[in-house]
């Protein structure tokens, strides 16, 4: 039961352009969504989150949008940098019931 | 500031062998978690602990046992390893007041 789905396993963008990573969820019970970033041979690190009372949250170059009617969230990175190349996981839930998507590998080309 | 430390980083086991993965955190976090990451599956919760001496099952607990005898340590045991347990294992912790998880760098386990 994959309650969080990232349908694009990979994404490649040019440096300076926008990266858009997408995530769909199937259970509306959970009201908190997060994005994690993972480099090779490292653990995931927290990037940005959003509560269901909001539809947008911004932190520097990173913005997360939440469309509750479509059960969809997206992460925008503007402008993309080569150091952003990593695997990005979306997650939903709060507390001890955190569910993660399968991840999207972002490659930012110089 | 070490954060969350996992040992070992790599291990190869033969089917039927047992082993214990150790997770240690130095942030005085109450909550600790064990996840496994498999291709196309994301991170799946195996077991978790909300405090010293307490553990609970997650999404995929079968074949694993855990113990939290000290607040800073969370052990994951495999009593009889199977090839299906080949995976990358991540430990994470968080404080009561903050929702974000701090992850360790992972243990890559191969069962042959």
Element containing residue A49 per DSSP (H, E): strand A45-51
CB of B6 closer than 8 Å to CB of B22: yes
What would the mean pLDDT of A62-82 be, rounded to a whole number? Answer: 96
pLDDT for A27 equals 73
Residue of A nearest to B95 (CA): A95
Task: Give tens-digit pLDDT for B41-65.
Answer: 889 999 999 999 999 999 999 999 9
Instruction: Say yes or no: A21 contacts chain B, CB-CB below 8 A.
Output: no
Identify whether the C-beta of residue B105 lies closer than 8 Å to the C-beta of residue A42.
yes
Which of B99, B104, B105 is the best mutation test for A, with the most CBs of A within 10 A? B99
pLDDT the model gives residue A2: 62
Mean predicted lDDT score pLDDT of chain B = 94
Report the C-alpha gap between B62 and B46 in whole angstroms: 8
Average pLDDT, chain A: 92
Min Cα separation A92/chain B (Å)? 11
pLDDT at B100: 80
pLDDT at A52 over 70: yes
* Yes or no, beta carbons of A45 and B41 under 8 Å apart: no
Rounded to a whole number of angstroms, the distance from the CA of A109 to the nearest CA of chain B is: 24
Q: Are A100 and B38 in contact (CB under 8 A)?
A: no
CB atoms B42 and A9 under 8 Å: no
Residue A76 corresponds to which tokens in the numbers above?
Answer: 């925008």
Residue A75 pLDDT > 70: yes
What's the rounded Cα separation, in Å, for the pair B43 and B73?
21
Residue B35 clears pLDDT 80, i.e. is over it:
yes
Mean predicted confidence (pLDDT) in A44-55 = 92
Within 8 A of B100 by CB-CB distance, chain A residues are 34, 46, 49
List chain A residues with CB under 8 Å of B48. Answer: 96
A43:B106 CB<8 A: yes
Is B42 within 8 Å of A103 when comparing Cβ atoms? yes
Residue A49 contacts by C-beta under 8 Å, 6 or more apart in sequence? A32, A33, A34, A35, A57, A64, B99, B100
Kindly tell me if the per-residue pLDDT of A1 is higher than 60: no
Task: Say how far apart CA A19 and CA A11 lie, in whole Å.
Answer: 8
CB < 8 Å to A94, chain B: 99
Coil, strand or helix: which one is A83? helix
What pLDDT was estimated at residue A29? 66
Euclidean distance between CA atoms B104 and A43, whole angstroms: 5
């Amino acid at each position: 039961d994959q309650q969080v789905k990232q349908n694009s396993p990979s994404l490649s963008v040019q440096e300076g352009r926008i990266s858009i990573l997408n995530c769909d969820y199937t259970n509306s019970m959970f009201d908190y969504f997060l994005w994690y970033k993972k480099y090779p041979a490292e653990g995931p690190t927290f990037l940005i989150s959003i509560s269901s009372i909001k539809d947008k949250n911004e932190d520097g170059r990173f913005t997360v949008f939440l469309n509750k009617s479509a059960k969809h969230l997206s992460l925008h990175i503007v402008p993309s940098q080569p150091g952003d190349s990593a695997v990005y996981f979306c997650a939903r839930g709060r507390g001890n019931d955190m569910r993660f998507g399968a991840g999207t590998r972002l490659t930012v080309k110089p | 500031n070490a954060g969350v430390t996992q040992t070992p980083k790599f291990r190869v086991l033969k089917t039927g062998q047992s082993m214990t993965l150790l997770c240690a955190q130095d942030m005085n976090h109450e909550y600790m978690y064990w996840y496994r990451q498999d291709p196309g599956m994301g991170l799946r919760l195996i077991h978790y602990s909300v405090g010293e001496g307490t553990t609970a099952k997650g999404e995929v607990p079968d074949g694993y046992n855990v113990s939290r005898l000290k607040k800073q340590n969370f052990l994951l045991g495999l009593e009889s390893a199977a090839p299906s347990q080949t995976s990358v294992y991540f430990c994470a912790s968080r404080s009561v007041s903050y929702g974000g998880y701090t992850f360790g760098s992972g243990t890559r386990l191969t069962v042959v």
